[in-house]
Structure 1
């Protein structure tokens, strides 16, 4: 089930029921809907640990507001690389704006297996006008971290 990847459980053993998996599809993808646009600072992914950990490498982490092509045309935060079996890795997205966070394995037929995805950011609706000015400032280096599950 897709929601197993956002259940708060970091266990990376697929057999314990806390990981999600797609079918063995061409360009398999997974998406979470945050229900409103957020400024996303980072996304942390826990990879499957009992086997197949290399399968996620080459995946793309996408963030945006469009559901065109199931959200898989949204801007890329990062290409996922260097994840070993059972590892947890944080990817910096530097305040990208989006309601949808997608992970896709483009141009290959394979299972996409995720044991946890944690999205950190601030809903736009909760940001003050001064927060927007701060985000737009080229000298800004701070980021907010709110867990969205």
Structure 2
């Protein structure tokens, strides 16, 4: 089993539901604390990273932006093998996260190719400064589950 102490998301492909003013989904993986992703105000905004391989995810880290920090409140973190957000398993919920703070969520070895952060509801904006996914490559049996 190969353990990845580094952020597996760095080798993945990020995307988001929409992009506001050039705040691209890649900004959550650039290692910089002065850039962040930003969706338009919309219903159920999301940010997703395709890890390109199936992982057994031990933990996820999320770093919040320095301004308008309350926008991330209520965000849901999911791990799974499905492009459909709601088909993936919930790893954690961000009830509150202070400005510029980083939170760690234990995912207990959930298996998946995708890590998704989304905020349920109307007129929501999702912004992330950084996102991390840490774990091990899943075995061949789990890899076959990828649709």
Query: What TM-score range do you get, normalising by the shorter chain?
Result: 0.7 to 0.9
Q: Which residue of 1 aligns with 2:25?
A: 2
Deviations 1:106-134 (A, max 9, x none): 02322100000011011115x8x9xx9xx
Instruction: Find out whether 1:28 has 2:45 as its counterpart.
Output: yes
Structure 2: 5+ residue stretches without partners: 1-23, 143-147
Do the aligned residues in 2 keep the contact of 1:26 with 1:106 (CA within 8 Å)?
A: yes
Do the aligned residues in 2 keep the contact of 1:61 with 1:78 (CA within 8 Å)?
A: yes
For the residues of structure 1 that align with 2:127 and 2:27, how far apart are their CA atoms?
10
Q: Which residue of 2 aligns with 1:78?
A: 92
State which structure, 1 or 2, has the greater radius of gyration over its C-alpha atoms.
1
Q: TM-score, normalised by structure 2?
A: 0.75
Matches within 5 A, 1:36-115: 36-49=53-66, 51-68=67-84, 71-115=85-129
Secondary structure of 2:74's aligned partner: coil
Do the aligned residues in 2 keep the contact of 1:72 with 1:104 (CA within 8 Å)?
A: no
Instruction: Find out whether 1:119 has 2:108 as its counterpart.
Output: no
Aligned residues: 119
Deviations 1:53-112 (A, max 9, x none): 0111101000000112xx343110111122011111111111000000000000232210
For the residues of structure 1 that align with 2:116 and 2:77, how far apart are their CA atoms?
6
How far 1:38 sits from its partner (Å)? 0.2
Secondary structure of 1:107's aligned partner: coil
Secondary structure of 2:105's aligned partner: strand
Do the aligned residues in 2 keep the contact of 1:47 with 1:114 (CA within 8 Å)?
A: yes
**Structural RMSD (CA):** 1.8
Q: TM-score, normalised by structure 1?
A: 0.74
Structure (1 or 2) with the greater helix fraction: 1
Q: Which runs of 4+ in 1 moved over 2 A?
A: none
For the residues of structure 2 that align with 1:35 and 1:23, how far apart are their CA atoms?
26
Secondary structure of 1:48's aligned partner: coil
